[in-house]
Structure 1
């Protein structure tokens, strides 16, 4: 199991913004099992100089301060920001209490980011959602969000133009603080065939409507995928007063003018193919984030593969926690800020009780309804019930990190592009083992944490020396207790056999004893021991390795060539090896029939016998067991390409 480093990195301090420590967060309800790393209080008088400790201790957090909304804001130095795992380790205690933290990267890191215009020009928003929010019979201040597929594909330029027009545009405010919207801009078009007053893109981009619609265009105006808007300009103008006015306007008009949200798009602007490799190798690249989920042979979109999110004014994410109670990290590449609401650990129990009361019908159908991401509740409603709600505004170029059990909700203040992914630390493993999931959601993430991160169960085995002298009683007892003794003078090669007593069937002849207990001791010792078999092939010879499944063995060669399996060092003994990934083998691979076994005339079951590999040369689909192909000299590997070829 991978472990995180616990040593402190350079440049870490224990004070907060140079003005003394921040007030401690209360913790009246049970907090997650994450070790606390809150710095001790600093005395007002000058303390005597203290020498640096010689032994490794808890990693102190970098300097931070509390935002007006109660959320910790970290501003790490370049040295502190260079190691993601050490940074998360140093703030775990603070983040677990607050539920969420904001991280402002150093300026040097921002300056090193590549230009994403080329990547944006090649992106298409194919799975946009139309978000309908309604109150219905719910209590005042509570709403139900329903996401509907918006059957249209947008380029990023089209999405920007749509977000600046019609019902999707963010309001501006006059001197009196009243919302003001730009009037719909139209342009006289040459023919009536291409007029489409319902298309917001045509209103703000009249030059696009000048192009005649060709055949097969599905009545969509032709658009240039190049990026013409200014990325920096989309992020400017959102000062504190403007964000406060947008927040008031949001809750007063939350049920009007359903917005669009381009969410859950698999991809990354940190690691896009159009970006040079040197520019991708930067700290906090969400595609290459060092954590436990990236150290297992598992790729899950949105979990350890990042998603892109293209928002516009009022696009919303409802109250929820992350799947499997994982950590999450969110970064805004450019555009308008996000407004976040979060429940600290001290109010988690009361929050869940209040939401169950406000959304009784949903809770009656599913006790995990808060994982549906469909329940919206105003923070004022929760605060009237004594529930503390922290809030923070995330601007472009800033990270938000949510911690296990951290309920959060929010919305976008305008056109923006964000990237998000889940991650895990060592302290999450016991949390993940107890995490629940919602059976109502078909794409809900489910992880077998014990199978992924716990060491495999190693059963006791005894050593049998064929054709050698029978061990005496003491040697047999030592063998059964796990104390293995070998006869250095034995000529035969020792093999490992499972500790399993041979069952002797009752015989009808009176000359043959009907039970093993009636056999002489010498005869019992001469009874054959069942040979171990490879789960991946029918070959009984060759060295077998244990697997991550109990009582299952495999050849090293089979595990090397089958794509889903691999050979690693045994977690209990670095001198041994173990085969990992038996359960990951696809069902179709188990059903493949070996061509050599058919020639031999073996009767193969319908499900096959072991797992086969297929030829990778051209369109050849011939299947072989690895050992069968090796014995028949039908396998070939190239140094530059490890795929097996047959001839």
Structure 2
């Protein structure tokens, strides 16, 4: 559905959300709003030369897969960029939007070329492009019940109850996901090329989960909420093949997109653009939040205690909820009675994150939600080794960084940092020692060394899996 409110209808944010839901807008999982002409979030315009914005760590999106089923790895870059530099990159010959007849033609080109030429996405950038004196629909300070997280707990969660900016280019994407804690989200496209959005009606969200769980079984076995990793890309063609209904809408500059609780959505950018987004809540969301799936395998996932919401808006259920006896159904899963999740602590403490980051080196960058850790620079190579836990099916797209021990490699390792600077490691010799040990432990007759300088055994028992990440020359 598309709504075109007058300014008087538009003034009260929460009231207009309730009005749209009274018209059934939430059943689609997504809605587009064309704001009134009187509403101008940035009166000075969008001349990039006059926008002093630095992107601390854009992400490089590496996509693998085929036949409409893909996995996207977001590799956080160490080098920061100015907004002008990002625009020049987006408009370069390598990343510019291809020629197309209409939006449908561009959509076909997107899915045909999704695995080629990794796009950069400046996602989760703290800040706002809206004027400070904007009081109506100011994304940075929406007046909804989500504010209780700040007033009752004293917690600010970047991008959840504060604004985030997103600068995209052609083919930069956001994978299938629901919002943290299944919250609402609002996205305003300030300037630039459009975005294409796909959305699953909340009533059919479990169908998408079932398809993803069956398709990416290894991911599901490792984390039953792995769709929150924002890695899974499924094309409309595959959704049609599995009878999963979906909506598609294109957001142009100056338009607002709202996503609703448990509304799975995904999409891509048509070219260089800038958007602002945050989350919000309503009383209707509370039952969704109490029963939202939680990812427990990643430390950067948002977990909000529902205590303040149940206490304020469901006092008659508060005691049973504390005891784990608040029985009921998920709003989109009728007939399946279960107890709501018991109280949890707020595990996304900004103060703790800041204290952890301050203990790191000044050159380190905060990790974006859903991103791999930044790749090490050359001067850090002697201090850390980077190992990817990706398998051929991209089991878990996380780059893990560990410090090397200061004692010999043959001894037991320890995480305790050395008292004195360790000597530089000869990685080649360490690898040779370890591979020789594995080689000698293989059963059967001695193998044949196939290389003049190497340890490759002539046996079918050895298997090697490789993963190639293609980066730009400057990276």
Please, what TM-score do these two structures have when normalized by structure 1?
0.46
How far off is 1:242 after superposition?
Answer: 2.4
Aligned equivalent of 1:102: 32
Residues 408-427 of structure 1 mapped to structure 2, 5 A cutoff: 408-427=265-284
**Equivalents in 1 of 2:300, 2:102: separation in Å?**
37
How far off is 1:452 after superposition?
Answer: 5.1
Q: 2:123 is paired with a residue of what secondary structure?
A: strand
1:168 alignment partner, one of 95, 103, 108: 95
Aligned equivalent of 1:281: 134
Q: 2:220 is paired with a residue of what secondary structure?
A: helix
1:261 alignment partner, one of 121, 134, 140: 121
Q: In the TM superposition, what whole-angstrom CA distance separates every residue of 1:462-488 from its partner, at most 9, and x where no partner exists?
A: xxxxxxxxxxxxxxxxxxxxxxxxxxx
Residues 515-554 of structure 1 mapped to structure 2, 5 A cutoff: none
**Equivalents in 2 of 1:381, 1:457: separation in Å?**
41
2:2 alignment partner, one of 73, 80, 83: 73
Aligned equivalent of 1:270: 130
1:398 alignment partner, one of 255, 264, 270: 255
Contact kept, 8 Å, 2:202 with 2:261, in 1: the verdict is: no
1:157 alignment partner, one of 56, 77, 84: 84
Aligned equivalent of 1:493: none
Q: In the TM superposition, what whole-angstrom CA distance separates every residue of 1:112-165 from its partner, at most 9, and x where no partner exists?
A: 744354895311111100000001xxx621001001122322111111111111
The higher-RCO structure (CA 8 Å, 6+ apart) is 2
**Equivalents in 1 of 2:48, 2:203: separation in Å?**
45
How far off is 1:331 after superposition?
Answer: 0.6
**Equivalents in 2 of 1:171, 1:336: separation in Å?**
12
Contact kept, 8 Å, 1:330 with 1:399, in 2: the verdict is: yes
Aligned equivalent of 1:294: 147
Q: 1:422 is paired with a residue of what secondary structure?
A: strand
Q: 1:167 is paired with a residue of what secondary structure?
A: coil
Contact kept, 8 Å, 2:30 with 2:257, in 1: the verdict is: yes
Q: In the TM superposition, what whole-angstrom CA distance separates every residue of 1:393-423 from its partner, at most 9, and x where no partner exists?
A: 0001000000001000100000000010000
Q: 2:250 is paired with a residue of what secondary structure?
A: strand
How far off is 1:433 after superposition?
Answer: 1.8
1:326 aligns with 2:253: no
How far off is 1:455 after superposition?
Answer: 4.8
1:384 alignment partner, one of 225, 229, 241: 241
**Equivalents in 1 of 2:279, 2:351: separation in Å?**
26
Q: 1:341 is paired with a residue of what secondary structure?
A: strand
Q: 2:102 is paired with a residue of what secondary structure?
A: helix
Q: Which runs of 5 or more structure 1 residues have no equivalent in the other structure?
A: 1-71, 174-240, 272-276, 459-548, 550-580, 588-647
Q: Residues 455 and 84 (structure 1 numbering): CA distance in 2 closer, same or farther, change over 3 Å?
A: closer
**Equivalents in 2 of 1:586, 1:421: separation in Å?**
20
Aligned equivalent of 2:12: 83
1:338 aligns with 2:195: yes
1:132 aligns with 2:62: yes
**Equivalents in 1 of 2:192, 2:145: separation in Å?**
31
**Equivalents in 2 of 1:100, 1:120: separation in Å?**
33
Q: In the TM superposition, what whole-angstrom CA distance separates every residue of 1:299-354 from its partner, at most 9, and x where no partner exists?
A: 11010101000100000100000010100000110000001011113422222211
Which sits farther off after the overlay, 241-250 or 326-335?
241-250
Aligned equivalent of 2:164: 307
**Equivalents in 1 of 2:294, 2:203: separation in Å?**
23
Q: Residues 242 and 586 (structure 1 numbering): CA distance in 2 closer, same or farther, change over 3 Å?
A: closer
1:143 aligns with 2:82: no
Q: Which runs of 5 or more structure 2 residues have no equivalent in the other structure?
A: 316-321, 323-345, 353-475
Q: In the TM superposition, what whole-angstrom CA distance separates every residue of 1:351-381 from its partner, at most 9, and x where no partner exists?
A: 2211111111111111101111000011111
Q: Residues 130 and 91 (structure 1 numbering): CA distance in 2 closer, same or farther, change over 3 Å?
A: same
**Equivalents in 1 of 2:243, 2:312: separation in Å?**
44
Residues 208-607 of structure 1 mapped to structure 2, 5 A cutoff: 241-271=101-131, 277=132, 280-295=133-148, 296-297=150-151, 298-451=155-308, 454-455=311-312
Runs of 4+ in 1 over 6 A off after TM superposition: 584-587
How far off is 1:267 after superposition?
Answer: 0.6
How far off is 1:451 after superposition?
Answer: 3.6
**Equivalents in 2 of 1:400, 1:388: separation in Å?**
19
